[in-house]
Amino acid sequence: MKVTAIANSNIALVKYWGKRNEELNLPFNNSISFTMDDQLQTVTTVEFDEKLKKDKVILDGVEANERESARAVKFLDVIRKMAKIKLNAIVVSKNSFPKSAGLASSASGFAALAAAASKAAGLNLTPRELSMLARIGSGSACRSVFGGAVEWRAGKKRDGSDSYAFQLSPPEDWRDLRNVIAIVSEDEKKVSSMEGMKRVKNSALFSCRLKTINERLRVIRNAIKTHNFAEMANAIMQESNNLHAVMLDSWPPVSYLSDVSLEIIKKVIELNESFAEPVAAYTFDAGPNAHIYTTLKHCNEIVKILKDINGVKRIIVCGIGEGIRFSDKHLF
């Protein structure tokens, strides 16, 4: 059976960084994200076929490189084991945005692959089971299973059976919210997230981050519950700073923020200072590209500010989107 699934990327307000279990992608802390609209999307078609001698993976029209292919095959092995099948698969996947540019393509990628491949293998997973499966492919993919505001519960169990995402608030509650993305660089990351998450364990500051992150989660969770943007804005920016601080304190140091990123930070803070309450909140993943959460009302102003910053290459205005869907339009 050929199955096609669609998943959107998500951009975290409270970040996933550091694994208590590297094999199962079990995090140290809960994280919270919004799922993006269809501009940041992966569509993936999977078919298991007894005629195939090995798995075949096509990403954006070209055969996957060795590293990508190995990662996909390893993930398919997990699904084959669950479904008790031994067939090889063909996977064809298309991103609506460049890979590895800090736009969380592995989140949408593994969410779509988890959904398409598990169904194609004959599994009928609940959303929670699908979230746990996607997590094994790429941690943050577990959040892309759901739309709107999503929390990933870190869990405590060693087998990861209590580490999954759930929806905090559906996308229709956030019609006004926007993520204004400033693309500063489309190059591959200097240090992979996988490597960076290993290094953070040696940061002398990481334990302090974990001690204070629950309070930040509480503030943001409450603000989401009451749809209060201003209340969560400072917490979002402070969380991003805190993340990049522990990255810098890792050894060897990891630094993703560029001069352009710092200029964007400065401009957002100045914009907020010019209002009585914060109207925008920047957040940076493992890269220099800025994600500026704001409301529709201030969107044009922020686009204008970003356009005036030297080094901002492209601007994408993203709304809040849906979780995983299936489609009849197969890619092959």
Distance in Å, CB of 207 to its own copies, minimum: 6
Buried b or exposed e, range 95-134, using 16+ CB within 10 angstroms? bbbeebbbbbbbbbbbbbbbbbbbbbbebebebebbbbbb
In sequence order, which residues have a C-beta less than 8 Å from that of residue 215 and are 6 or more positions away? none
Query: Does residue 327 touch its own copies according to CB under 8 A?
Result: no
Work out which of 205, 230, 309, 317 binds its own copies, going by CB under 8 A: 205
Q: Is 77 exposed, middle or buried (0-12, 13-18, 19+ CB in 10 A)?
A: exposed
Query: Does residue 230 touch its own copies according to CB under 8 A?
Result: no
Q: What is the C-alpha to C-alpha distance for residues 138 and 40, in angstroms, rounded to an integer?
A: 17
Distance in Å, CB of 211 to its own copies, minimum: 8
Closest CA to 152 of 221, 60, 70: 221
Query: Does residue 244 touch its own copies according to CB under 8 A?
Result: yes
Q: What is the C-alpha to C-alpha distance for residues 297 and 210, in angstroms, rounded to an integer?
A: 34
Task: Determine contact, residues 119/305, Cβ cutoff 8 Å.
Answer: no
Q: What is the C-alpha to C-alpha distance for residues 229 and 279, in angstroms, rounded to an integer?
A: 8
Nearer to its own copies among residue 67 and residue 211 (C-beta): 211
For residue 128, what is the enclosing H or E element? Answer: helix 127-137
Q: Is 257 helix (H, G, I), strand (E, B) or coil?
A: coil
- Site mask, its own copies, residues 175-204, x = CB under 8 A? ----------------------------xx
- Single out the segment in contact with its own copies by CB under 8 A; choices: 114-122, 154-162, 180-188, 233-241: 233-241
Q: Is 166 helix (H, G, I), strand (E, B) or coil?
A: strand
- How many chain residues touch its own copies (CB under 8 A)? 28
Count of alpha carbons within 13 angstroms of residue 132, beta-carbon side? 14
Give one word for 61, left, alpha or beta, with left for phi > 0 and alpha for psi -120 to 50: left
Q: Is 56 helix (H, G, I), strand (E, B) or coil?
A: strand
Looking at residue 172, what DSSP letter applies? G
Distance in Å, CB of 199 to its own copies, minimum: 11
Work out which of 241, 315, 325, 330 binds its own copies, going by CB under 8 A: 241
Nearer to its own copies among residue 41 and residue 203 (C-beta): 203
Query: Does residue 313 touch its own copies according to CB under 8 A?
Result: no
Distance in Å, CB of 244 to its own copies, minimum: 6
Residues 246-275 binding its own copies (CB under 8 A) are: 246, 248-253, 255, 257-259, 262, 265, 269
- Single out the segment in contact with its own copies by CB under 8 A; choices: 30-38, 218-226, 242-250, 295-303: 242-250
- Site mask, its own copies, residues 63-102, x = CB under 8 A? ----------------------------------------
Give one word for 152, left, alpha or beta, with left for phi > 0 and alpha for psi -120 to 50: beta
Query: Does residue 209 touch its own copies according to CB under 8 A?
Result: yes
Distance in Å, CB of 261 to its own copies, minimum: 9
Nearer to its own copies among residue 251 and residue 326 (C-beta): 251
Distance in Å, CB of 234 to its own copies, minimum: 8
Task: Determine contact, residues 14/30, Cβ cutoff 8 Å.
Answer: yes
How many residues make up the chain in this entry?
A: 332
Query: Does residue 111 touch its own copies according to CB under 8 A?
Result: no
Q: What is the C-alpha to C-alpha distance for residues 236 and 216, in angstroms, rounded to an integer?
A: 8
Distance in Å, CB of 32 to its own copies, minimum: 17
Task: Determine contact, residues 113/331, Cβ cutoff 8 Å.
Answer: no
Nearer to its own copies among residue 140 and residue 242 (C-beta): 242
Distance in Å, CB of 288 to its own copies, minimum: 10
Binding residues for its own copies (CB under 8 A): 203-205, 207-209, 211-212, 234, 238, 241-242, 244-246, 248-253, 255, 257-259, 262, 265, 269
